[in-house]
Amino acid sequence: MKKLMVLMSAFLLLCGCTKAQEEKTPEPVPAEKEEIDTEEKTMILKINNQTVDVTWEDNRSTEALQLLAENTLTVSMSMYGGWEQVGSIGQRLPSDDTQQTAQPGDIMLYASDQIVLFYGNNSWAYTKLGTMNLSNDELRDLLGNGDVTLTLSLE
């Protein structure tokens, strides 16, 4: 019995002396960095499938319009007043309307939900979106002969 007690004591002593195993938390594997497309896309304006060179403004309205252009935006435009084409975007965009005189080639946002392409002059409250880089004659030929279809996309 003495032997049994010695063995049990030794066993308990050995069990008590062993260091508790530390649970190691596996180190998190660093997530792969998402590739960020640093190439900025350009918003392309087409009128009746003809690409038009545009200098876009840098404002909240053009940023919102560019988001719509990601999925290609098509707008049916109508002649108005003998100096512009106007069409509904289908939703409201942020705007900062100010009283200004639109010049031939100007692209304006009117009432937050309509895009206006000018081939003549008009004074009203607009948010400027950009300028079409065309001559007055080119603008009249493109916009002054009936309703047109505007398409915005990104490339």
CATH of the domain at 58: 2.40.100.20
Position 74 in a domain: yes
Position 135 in a domain: yes
Position 12 in a domain: no
Domain that holds residue 124: 43-154
**CB of 55 closer than 8 Å to CB of 133:** yes
Q: What is the mean pLDDT of residues 116-121?
A: 98
Please, is 132 exposed, middle or buried when counting C-beta atoms within 10 Å of its C-beta (0-12, 13-18, 19+)?
Answer: buried
28: pLDDT strictly greater than 50: no
Position 72 in a domain: yes
The count of domains in the chain is: 1
Tokens matching residue 71:
């999925």
Position 28 in a domain: no
Position 37 in a domain: no
**CB of 75 closer than 8 Å to CB of 115:** yes
Position 147 in a domain: yes
Position 67 in a domain: yes
pLDDT level of residue 26 (50, 70, 90 thresholds):
very low
Q: What is the mean pLDDT of residues 90-112?
A: 98
Q: Model pTM?
A: 0.75
| pLDDT, position 32 | 46
